[in-house]
């Protein structure tokens, strides 16, 4: 069993959610929040276009739902599994919610904030840092995004 194996099931769920975002005309990104024991607390997909809300990113929606499910804004010990590397806004939400780990599919070389362009989640100047595990189901995540943007051009 490789190092990515523990996250594959959750990433497959996130990819299914990304497909739902695609069906609604949104950028295909899905997110899952797992508790410290690996149980699903919350799921979401991008809803910016559907909700006409620029902050309705999958990560933000999943973190909100997880906080509601636990009754706590601090998601200590939790893992955020997401198909695309979080942007600066979502990385800030990771820090503020104190998520322990971010597991991502595709890296975002244009706007990523978990190590590619910026590294908000591991910035030593902030009050919390999260572990980053990248490249889980990377090709599937990247392909979904490439196809979405190619169809838009």
Residues marked active site are found at 59
The answer to whether 137 and 105 are in contact (CB under 8 A) is yes
Cβ burial, residue 135 (10 Å; 0-12/13-18/19+) = middle
Number of helical H runs and strand E runs in the chain: 5, 5
Cβ burial, residue 60 (10 Å; 0-12/13-18/19+) = buried
Residue set of the binding site? 57, 87, 90
Length of the chain: 153
Residue set of the binding site for Zn(2+)? 57, 87, 90
Cα gap 41→62, rounded to integer Å:
9
């Amino acid at each position: 069993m490789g190092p990515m194996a523990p996250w594959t099931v959750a990433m497959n769920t996130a990819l299914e959610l990304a497909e739902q975002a695609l069906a609604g005309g949104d950028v295909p990104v899905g997110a899952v929040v797992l508790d410290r024991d690996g149980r699903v607390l919350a799921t979401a997909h991008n809803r910016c276009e559907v909700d006409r809300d620029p902050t309705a990113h999958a990560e933000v929606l999943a973190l909100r739902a997880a906080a509601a499910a636990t009754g706590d804004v601090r998601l200590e010990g939790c893992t955020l599994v997401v198909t695309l590397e979080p942007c600066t806004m979502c990385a800030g939400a990771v820090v503020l919610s104190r998520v322990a780990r971010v597991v991502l599919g595709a890296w975002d070389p244009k706007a990523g904030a978990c190590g590619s362009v910026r590294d908000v989640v591991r910035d030593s100047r902030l009050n919390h840092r999260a572990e980053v595990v990248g490249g889980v189901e990377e090709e599937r995540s990247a392909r979904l995004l490439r196809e979405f943007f190619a169809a838009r051009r």
